[in-house]
Amino acid sequence: MGEMSGKVALVTGAGSGIGRAMALIFAARGASVVVADINAEAGQATVNAVHAAGGEAILVRADVSLEVDAHRSVSATVERFGRLDYAANNAGLDGDVLPLTEQSAESFHRVIAVNLAGVFFGMKHQIPVMVRQGEGAIVNTSSIAGLRAHPGIGPYVAAKHGVNGLTKTAAIEYGSKGVRVNSLCPGGVRTPMLEEYLKSAPELRASIIDGNPMRRLGEAHEMAEAAVWLCSPAASYVNGHELVADGGKIVSDV
């Protein structure tokens, strides 16, 4: 029996990388997990991995940029498990790596739709269930790009700053109803998204590693541990916080 036994966690973008690691750790702590991803095959692989580890999980194919899918993910959760205790709004993409004046409108809108509107739609439908229960915790995956500028990914930087703004707003609006809302701000983490990004700028790999005080990338499970802690009873007075997990990158001038 884990400390989250009897609890229910919904994780978006759980088909890969950080989201998959979150699903596995929530399940290892005893929570039943709803794996939501636009990629059903990837999501099913996560469900299978949770089952193989002895946990409980179901798949909901969902595009977080669509409000109807956010609503459906929450209803499917409540229908199957009767409650929703933790939500990780984690699905995201990086968009085109180009200077601002060369970014297309399409790429800008898609990054905002998935990375920012996706978090908004998620919280909009998750919070009412938690308020009815009188308790719940949400973690939104932002980035250190939600706290600092980063060249070449303007739409992503804008979306992640927005995620932190929405997180803090939700935290002050719903704290008195028993719902805590925090964001996780990872640095460079070794996932398919980062590998794809580095393909467009291979010279960055060495500089990301050399420029980090810990001289390495983060691992998905390290981000997931931080996210699950933010949702756990151990973080019961942590609300509206931007938890940076970046090996010390943003406090260094290495």
Ligand X SMILES: NC(=O)c1ccc[n+]([C@@H]2O[C@H](COP(=O)([O-])OP(=O)(O)OC[C@H]3O[C@@H](n4cnc5c(N)ncnc54)[C@H](O)[C@@H]3O)[C@@H](O)[C@H]2O)c1
Interaction with ligand X in 81-110: which residues (CB under 6 A)? 90-93
* Residue matched to tokens 């179901």: 58
Report helix, strand or coil for 182. Answer: strand
Task: Out of 15, 95, 122, 152, point to the residue binding ligand X (CB under 6 A).
Answer: 15
Return the number of the residue (55 or 188) whose C-beta is nearest ligand X: 188
Interaction with ligand X in 204-223: which residues (CB under 6 A)? none
Interaction with ligand X in 23-82: which residues (CB under 6 A)? 37-39, 42, 62-65
The answer to whether 183 contacts ligand X (rule: CB under 6 A) is no
The answer to whether 248 contacts ligand X (rule: CB under 6 A) is no
The answer to whether 152 contacts ligand X (rule: CB under 6 A) is no
The answer to whether 17 contacts ligand X (rule: CB under 6 A) is yes
What is the Cα–Cα distance from 98 to 48, expressed in whole angstroms? 37
Nearest in space to 84 (alpha carbons), one of 4, 173, 7: 7
To the query of whether residue 86 is one of the catalytic residues in this protein, the response is no
Q: What does the block give as tokens for 96?
A: 């085109």
In angstroms, give the least distance from the CB of 161 to ligand X: 12
What is the Cα–Cα distance from 13 to 35, expressed in whole angstroms? 8
Question: Under a CB-based contact definition with an 8 Å cutoff, are residues 145 and 213 in contact?
Answer: no
The answer to whether 19 contacts ligand X (rule: CB under 6 A) is yes
Report helix, strand or coil for 156. Answer: helix
In angstroms, give the least distance from the CB of 46 to ligand X: 8
One-letter amino acid at 122 equals G
Return the number of the residue (20 or 180) whose C-beta is nearest ligand X: 20
**CB proximity list for 130: less than 8 A, separation 6 or greater:** 84, 85, 87, 136, 137, 138, 174, 177, 178, 179
What is the Cα–Cα distance from 242 to 225, expressed in whole angstroms? 15
Residues that bind ligand X (CB under 6 A): 12-13, 15-19, 37-39, 42, 62-65, 90-93, 114, 141, 143, 186, 188-189, 191-194
Residues taking part in catalysis: 156
